[in-house]
Amino acid sequence: MSVLQVRNIRKSYIVDPVLKDISFIVEPGEKIGLIGANGSGKSTLLQILTGDLSADSGKIVYAKDISIGYLKQETELRSFGTIYESCLAIFHPLMKMEEKMRILEEEMGTLTGSNLENAMNQYSDLLETFEQGGGYSYKSSIRGVLTGLGFHEEDFQRDPATLSGGQKARLALAQLLLRKANILFLDEPTNHLDMKAIHWLEKYLKDFPGAVIVISHDRLFLDRVTEKIFSLEHGVIQTYRGNYSAYMKYHKKEMELRKKQYEDQQKEIKRQEAIIERFTNMGKARLIRQGMSRKKLLDKMKKIDPLESHKQVNIRFTPKKESGQDVLQVENLAMDVPGKHLFSDVNFNIYKGDRVGLIGGNGTGKTTLFHLIMKKMRPTEGQIHLGAHVYTGYFDQEMTHLHHEKTVLDEIWDEYPDLTHYEIRRYLAQFLFVGDDIFQLVGDLSGGERGRLSLLKLMLSSSNFLLMDEPTNHLDIDSKEILEDALTKYEGTVFTISHDRYFLNKICNKIFALEDETITEYLGNYDYYVEKTTLEEDIPEFGGPTRTERKKQEQKEKKRREDEKQRKKELKTLEDKITQLESTLQKIDEELNNPSLYEDFEEVEVLSKNRQETEISLEKAFQEWMELQE
């Protein structure tokens, strides 16, 4: 039996429809990813499902006795005393039950007869309820969840009022998970988590017995947690089985097929219109009637809508000058802040063209290292040297360089006064600030909009060394992929802090891990870092793979090359077949358009049948070609 049924939900703001006709069913234990562009209505839908917002119409039906948990993007932290006590308060009914059981235990020592029997029955009922509610494990659950989400034992007694915004968000998530609701609604739960905490949350949600609907721009998180995708686009939800990667594979094929179907139908419409026009212009009553019949059939044809083109950010980073080969050299760097030692004995080099990802837990000093490179702070020990002709550009995750009292237009123009009004408008339009958007105050922008504005300022800086602190935090998935493509094509050097593992895999050729108060360098992307750190015990004492491991790797590589060779061969065969079929189709169309055939209906029928069979063969060949491309 389903835990949630949603039927025909609609929601508009003034005259703009956000949700047009939302219907779906959630089964027990399902893990569902809700995706869509920023502003598509994802958070609005969760607010309606949880009762925080009313729908204009439609129906929401939960199963009986279902409890729900909702994590909003904007933290609403309920605190009682310390961090630990704030979590302990969730289990107040269990603690009262435990207290009642202790009282009964004392009473049973003095009671006799029926009074003792009644007390024992009452105690037995309480004990059963206590055990089912996790009475013997709630304290360890609190410690496990807090530790999993990045809190240390010494943090448990801190006052929540002293926490940073990210720490408060993690505490709110901990409280939500400890309530053990039957269905969880999570809006960007990984935003303030480091990689270890994200990994812990992935495992927790996979093992969680209830249902989950999660909004996330973390593509690897969606891959590892979800088994179904709700894609919210133009106010309507499309459902896809599988995780995010399965959705992307299917969605891409679906879009290609829809595009081809639309183009084929447009060709057929034009062909029919040409025949109708010729029949009508012939002046013969019989041909005119046939033309009218074709016109009626054409009018009744169910038209395929063209794919709507999405507005996309246009990012292109272009260095104004080429740097030297040595971009950054760090020697024996150490840093202390009041009350805490961050790191020491840090040594590394970054060279021209490197794309380096800096990873590590929250509070380890990653942003501080960037501030040291930017000379906003002085190190406790050590030296930092920028190479010749190195011009740095900085993306600040807090976006403190933006001026909230300025308009979007002035934010850019004041920084780059030599640009013309036309150039400013053009650049802003490339980053989706059009019309009256450019007169909005920066302080009134959403996180995603401020992120786009910060990226535009960075792009216009023409820097050849980009320092980027969590650049993907406020971007939707489409914008992330555009940024990744821009950085991949960038001819300068990139040093980025990120918790986005997909992003790190896509752009990085090195990973610097800030762990145990120093930096370790890994010559590969994030997957390579994971492989090296999790399989370290399998590496022989003196380094390097064993003979057996080398042999397995060589066999694996040999098979990969053979498979790739076969794939290319099949692709070439299909491409030749597609070319031949397209040529055949063109010849048939030329014959059908020959006026001498207009009265030879049998020949027209034969050619039309051949055309249909050729189109089917062509579509099948295209489908096989697309599958091989994957």
Question: pLDDT-based confidence at 544, cuts 50/70/90?
Answer: very low
Query: Rounded distance, CA 506 to CA 626, Å?
Result: 22
Q: Which of these ranges, 17-26, 36-45, 415-424, 563-572, has the smallest mean pLDDT?
A: 563-572
Closest CA to 461 of 403, 392, 396: 392
Residue 125's Cβ-side half-sphere holds a number of Cα atoms within 13 Å equal to 6
pLDDT score for 537: 41
Query: Rounded distance, CA 79 to CA 86, Å?
Result: 5
pLDDT score for 517: 93
Percent of the chain residues past pLDDT 70, beyond the cut = 93
Q: Which of 162-176, 257-271, 343-357, 466-480 is the most confident on average?
A: 343-357
Confidence check: pLDDT of 509 > 70: yes
Query: Rounded distance, CA 484 to CA 229, Å?
Result: 23
Q: Tens digit of pLDDT for each residue in 377-400?
A: 999 999 999 999 999 999 988 787
Query: Rounded distance, CA 440 to CA 414, Å?
Result: 15
Confidence check: pLDDT of 542 > 50: no
pLDDT score for 536: 40
Place of tokens 């009292």: 405
Average pLDDT for 428-447: 85
Q: Which of these ranges, 209-213, 379-383, 606-610, 622-626, has the smallest mean pLDDT?
A: 622-626
Query: Rounded distance, CA 579 to CA 575, Å?
Result: 6
Confidence check: pLDDT of 532 > 50: yes
DSSP state of 311: P
Confidence check: pLDDT of 538 > 50: no
Closest CA to 124 of 270, 556, 132: 132
CB 59 within 8 A of CB 133: no
Question: pLDDT-based confidence at 598, cuts 50/70/90?
Answer: low
Tokens of 60: 């929401």
Angle at 422 between CA 418 and CA 424, to 5 degrees: 60
pLDDT score for 514: 94
Question: pLDDT-based confidence at 308, cuts 50/70/90?
Answer: low
Q: Tens digit of pLDDT for each residue in 99-126?
A: 898 888 888 878 788 888 888 888 888 8
Query: Rounded distance, CA 473 to CA 494, Å?
Result: 17
Question: pLDDT-based confidence at 256, cuts 50/70/90?
Answer: confident
Question: pLDDT-based confidence at 46, cuts 50/70/90?
Answer: very high
Question: pLDDT-based confidence at 541, cuts 50/70/90?
Answer: very low
CB atoms near residue 338 (< 10 Å): 4
pLDDT score for 624: 81
Query: Rounded distance, CA 184 to CA 172, Å?
Result: 13
pLDDT score for 465: 96
Place of tokens 């600030």: 433
Q: Which of 74-83, 177-186, 423-432, 564-573 is the most confident on average?
A: 177-186
Q: Tens digit of pLDDT for each residue in 175-229?
A: 999 988 999 999 999 888 888 889 899 999 999 999 999 999 889 999 999 999 9
Q: How far is CA 525 from CA 304, 372, 511, 512, 539, in A?
A: 43, 25, 6, 10, 19
Model-level pTM?
0.68
CB 473 within 8 A of CB 451: yes
Is the backbone of residue 459 left (phi > 0), alpha (psi -120 to 50) or beta?
Answer: alpha
pLDDT averaged over every residue in the chain: 86
Query: Rounded distance, CA 136 to CA 139, Å?
Result: 8
Can you point out the beta strands (E) in 137-284? 183-187, 211-215, 228-233, 236-241
Q: Tens digit of pLDDT for each residue in 448-490?
A: 788 888 888 888 888 999 999 999 887 888 888 888 988 998 9
Question: pLDDT-based confidence at 551, cuts 50/70/90?
Answer: low
Burial 468-487 (b: 16+ CB within 10 A, else e): bbbbbbbbbbbbbbbbbebb
